[in-house]
Structure 1
Amino acid sequence: MRPGHLRAEHVGVAVADRDLVRDVVLDVTPGEVVALTGPNGAGKSTLLRTFYRARRPTSGRVLLDGEDIWRMSGRRLARRLSAVVQEPPGEFELTVYEVVAMGRSPYKRAFQGDDAADRRIIMDALDALDVTALAQAPFDRLSGGEKQRVLIARALAQRTGTMVLDEPTNHLDLRHQLDVLRLVRGLGVTAVIALHDLNLAAAFCDRICVMRAGQVVADGPPAQVLTPALLTEVYQVAADVHAHPRTGVPQISLHPDQESPS
């Protein structure tokens, strides 16, 4: 898995004359892990959809290793970029193993079965997401958190050098939130991860890109981006930012008893 170079060049998305994303430039170098953050409605998910070709930009383009993703075949892109999306999946009449095995589809001809190498990759992905015991369980009967881990395992089985993850910690308990982000961090892949939890973003990501109203308003290392002034401006909250006593990364403490700044 060779890490890719993912770049958004002046990407814009408009729907019914409303700009959901405006002139976004984002350059993610090979092996870099970038958190995409911002309040609800900031345009994070819309921007990510342009990365995995679920939505064509109205303006600008998305490049992977210098090549416009819309000029690639779907199979070729799927061998290089995998996505974990936020939209609830359809009710699959498949087992957990079969859902994760779908990650091997870009490498197969139609109706080709799994070989020994595929099965090893699938089982490794199940194990990495702590869902091996659920391998033969019906996917549609799982809890929200279990489904989320299975879908991340499917992306892992895809074995791509670039990953796009839209709120991958959604529905997960504390342990599995940490496990998932440690896993992505340790893969050595290029990753863009939409996260609401800024403390997790600071702990696991090289950079934090903050969006508001469809635009990037801050982009840089966590210690540079996460300031009380930015939190007030973007999130309308009062907060302290201090260094974690063990890791030194910035940690945010909200003021729950204080009125939100106007």
Structure 2
Amino acid sequence: MTRGTGTLRAEKVTVVADGRALVADVSLEAAPGQVVGLVGPNGAGKSTLLRTFYRALRPTSGRVLLDGDDIWRMPGRHLARRLAAVLQDTTGDFELTAYDVVAMGRTPHKRAFQGDAATDRAIITEALAELEAAHLADAPFDRLSGGEKQRVLIARALAQQAGTLVLDEPTNHLDLRHQLDALQLVRRIGATAVIALHDLNLAAAYCDRLCVLDCGRLVATGTPAQVLTPALLADVYRVQAEVGAHPRTGIHQITVLPERDGPRRKGRR
């Protein structure tokens, strides 16, 4: 299930709420086929920034471009054909089967009230199979476990067949193997992707570049090896850590060194 790719770019995006800047003057770019990880502590602004990418939140200033086009100037259906999102903690009270939820991903490609064609059904079935969720097709979505719901929602994004993916903590609720499977799938399909992740080792293993947010500001960007340094982890996360290439995989790896009475970050928002 491969697809064409796009370039997603934020230009000086700022989001202000109640007089407070949740995101401040952030610029970043995900090039075609590139997986960009968005990392940072809780409250750093990751989810807020991602909401501006799929038009759930309009920036106070700045803009978001997809292949050079301002997303707020696009018809909604046109944007949905080009960009798909998996949200964090999506409510699971759909009175639909898992198959029906995945089928929602085909909506941007159909006319109003148009049923599923054979092509749509094949895409839906393939998306479920990619997430090892084919056996859940007839199950009521609201009765699935958290991990099963998450796999179905990722399958819905795949069924949308957009060239760009925005994923907010897509590994939430997934067990270890399915976390790896989901991130491997994003890389395999070749879409442009921006992914918010808490697990820095997963981010280092599957992302081409990382963008670090802290208190709403972009404080570092580059490859995992360039960004995830002991100094940055101490400054942004307030932890002591050892970093280096894994002896077998060569992948950048972080080992956090627990402290009984570690320093507390002052001024965290």
TM exceeding 0.5? yes
Identity in percent: 70
Query: 57, 65, 68: which one pairs with 2:67?
Result: 65
- Deviation of 1:247 after TM superposition, in Å, equals 1.9
Cα deviation code 1:141-166 (max 9, x no counterpart): 00111000000000000000000000
Other-structure match for 1:113: 115
Query: 11, 24, 27: which one pairs with 1:25?
Result: 27
Query: In the alignment, residue 225 of structure 1 is paired with which amino acid?
Result: V
3-state SS in 2 of match to 1:21:
strand
- Looking at structure 1, the residues matched to 92 and 75 of structure 2 have their Cα atoms a distance apart, in angstroms, of 24
Other-structure match for 2:186: 184
Other-structure match for 1:15: 17
Other-structure match for 2:6: 4
- Deviation of 1:90 after TM superposition, in Å, equals 4.7
Query: In the alignment, residue 120 of structure 1 is paired with which amino acid?
Result: A
Matched-pair contact (CA < 8 Å) for 1:167–1:196: yes
Other-structure match for 1:169: 171
- Looking at structure 2, the residues matched to 146 and 216 of structure 1 have their Cα atoms a distance apart, in angstroms, of 33
Of 11-20 and 237-246, more deviation after overlay is shown by 237-246
- Looking at structure 1, the residues matched to 125 and 103 of structure 2 have their Cα atoms a distance apart, in angstroms, of 9
- Looking at structure 2, the residues matched to 258 and 204 of structure 1 have their Cα atoms a distance apart, in angstroms, of 31
Other-structure match for 1:244: 246
How many residue pairs get aligned? The number is: 262
Other-structure match for 2:128: 126
Matched-pair contact (CA < 8 Å) for 1:222–1:249: no
Answering whether residue 257 of structure 2 is matched by residue 260 of structure 1, we say no
Answering whether residue 53 of structure 2 is matched by residue 51 of structure 1, we say yes
- Looking at structure 2, the residues matched to 6 and 187 of structure 1 have their Cα atoms a distance apart, in angstroms, of 17
Cα deviation code 1:184-213 (max 9, x no counterpart): 011111000000000000000000110000
- Looking at structure 1, the residues matched to 257 and 98 of structure 2 have their Cα atoms a distance apart, in angstroms, of 42
3-state SS in 2 of match to 1:83:
strand
Query: In the alignment, residue 81 of structure 2 is paired with which amino acid?
Result: R
- Deviation of 1:89 after TM superposition, in Å, equals 2.2
- Looking at structure 1, the residues matched to 5 and 78 of structure 2 have their Cα atoms a distance apart, in angstroms, of 15
Q: TM-score, normalised by structure 1?
A: 0.98
- Deviation of 1:88 after TM superposition, in Å, equals 2.4
Query: 91, 95, 98: which one pairs with 2:97?
Result: 95
Answering whether residue 189 of structure 2 is matched by residue 150 of structure 1, we say no
- Root-mean-square deviation (CA, aligned residues, Å) is 0.9
* Uncovered stretches (5+) of structure 2, i.e. residues with no partner: 265-269
- Looking at structure 2, the residues matched to 133 and 58 of structure 1 have their Cα atoms a distance apart, in angstroms, of 44
Cα deviation code 1:75-103 (max 9, x no counterpart): 00000000000132251000000000000
4+ runs deviating over 6 angstroms: none
